[in-house]
């Protein structure tokens, strides 16, 4: 079970949102590279980056900050990135910058042809981000993700994102059971009890959980959480 620190980028800074609302952003660091290095030194095995400005603009905006993170990590752990990725050129650019996995969000659902092309062009490096409101998202039609060769799914419960209200275990398990590709939970991770609950259902195909506000505000100690996950997954 991977506990994956999130670095959400807005105007070149590390921020966290509540329920995806840009106006409510809290700045946690003005040095994304140093923040990334901190999580690596704490034992992180993967990083999750989001270009928040890019997600709204539909194109890369925080590429400078992303490059600084890649430089700080030095290839020691994989980095996954989402936000504003709508064409193959952008994917290629990010992979050339040193990103390991690219997350395609709403574009995957709205333009399945793009997702298919991306998986064909960059095998093993494409993930899909699925957002659910009120813990619900239609499961029909997701078999295409498996057929195309999607690496994994990042499943976010928008209602819980940044709210420190616990992971929606039930909905995440339901998704994982409907698919053969791995699922990463996102939204609501609050404390070590959440880590224990996730590890208990890892056999369903849930390989990790993304955490942001909890590790920045101290409701969970990252190093302790990853160590616990390693012990329970052994």
* pLDDT digit string, tens, across residues 89-136: 999 999 999 999 999 987 787 887 999 999 999 999 999 998 876 655
pLDDT of residue 165: 62
161 is an active site residue: no
Nearby residues of 5 by Cβ (< 8 Å), 6 or more positions away: 39, 44, 47, 48, 210, 211, 212, 215, 222
The predicted model scores a pTM of: 0.93
Residue of 31, 87, 97, 131 with catalytic role:
131
More confident residue, 169 or 125: 125
More confident residue, 141 or 44: 44
The per-residue pLDDT for 137 is 58
Interacting residues of 233 by C-beta distance below 8 A, sequence separation 6+: 1, 199, 202
Find the largest Cα–Cα distance for the chain: 42
Q: 29-87, pLDDT tens digit by residue?
A: 899 999 999 999 999 999 999 999 999 999 999 999 999 999 999 999 999 999 999 99
**The pLDDT value given to residue 133:** 67
Distance CA 168, CA 74 (A): 33
pLDDT digits (tens, 9 = 90+) for 190-219: 899 999 999 999 999 999 999 998 999 899
From the list 8, 51, 157, 161, the catalytic residue is 8
d(CA 51, CA 74): 20
Active site residue 8: yes
Per 3-state DSSP, what percentage of the chain is helix, strand, and coil (rounded to 5)?
40, 25, 30
């Amino acid at each position: 079970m991977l506990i994956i620190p999130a670095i959400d980028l807005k105007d070149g800074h590390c921020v966290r949102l509540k329920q995806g609302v840009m106006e409510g952003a809290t700045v946690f660091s003005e040095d994304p590279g140093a923040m990334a290095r901190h999580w690596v030194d704490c034992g992180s095995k993967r990083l999750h980056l989001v270009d928040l400005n890019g997600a709204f603009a539909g194109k890369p905006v925080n590429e400078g900050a992303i490059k600084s993170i890649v430089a700080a990590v030095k290839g020691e752990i994989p980095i996954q990135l989402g936000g504003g990725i709508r064409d193959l050129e952008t994917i290629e650019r990010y992979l050339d910058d040193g990103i390991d996995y690219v997350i395609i969000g709403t574009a995957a659902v709205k333009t399945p042809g793009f997702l298919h092309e991306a998986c064909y062009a960059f095998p093993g490096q494409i993930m899909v981000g699925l957002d659910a409101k009120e813990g619900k998202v239609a499961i029909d039609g997701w078999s295409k993700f498996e057929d195309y060769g999607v690496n994994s799914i990042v499943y976010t419960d928008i209602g819980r994102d940044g709210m420190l209200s616990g992971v929606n275990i039930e909905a995440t398990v339901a998704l994982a059971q409907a698919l053969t590709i791995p699922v990463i939970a996102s939204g609501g991770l609050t404390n070590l009890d959440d880590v224990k609950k996730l590890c208990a259902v890892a056999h369903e195909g849930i390989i990790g959980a993304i955490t942001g506000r909890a590790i920045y505000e101290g409701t969970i100690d990252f190093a302790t959480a990853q160590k616990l996950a390693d012990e329970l997954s052994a």
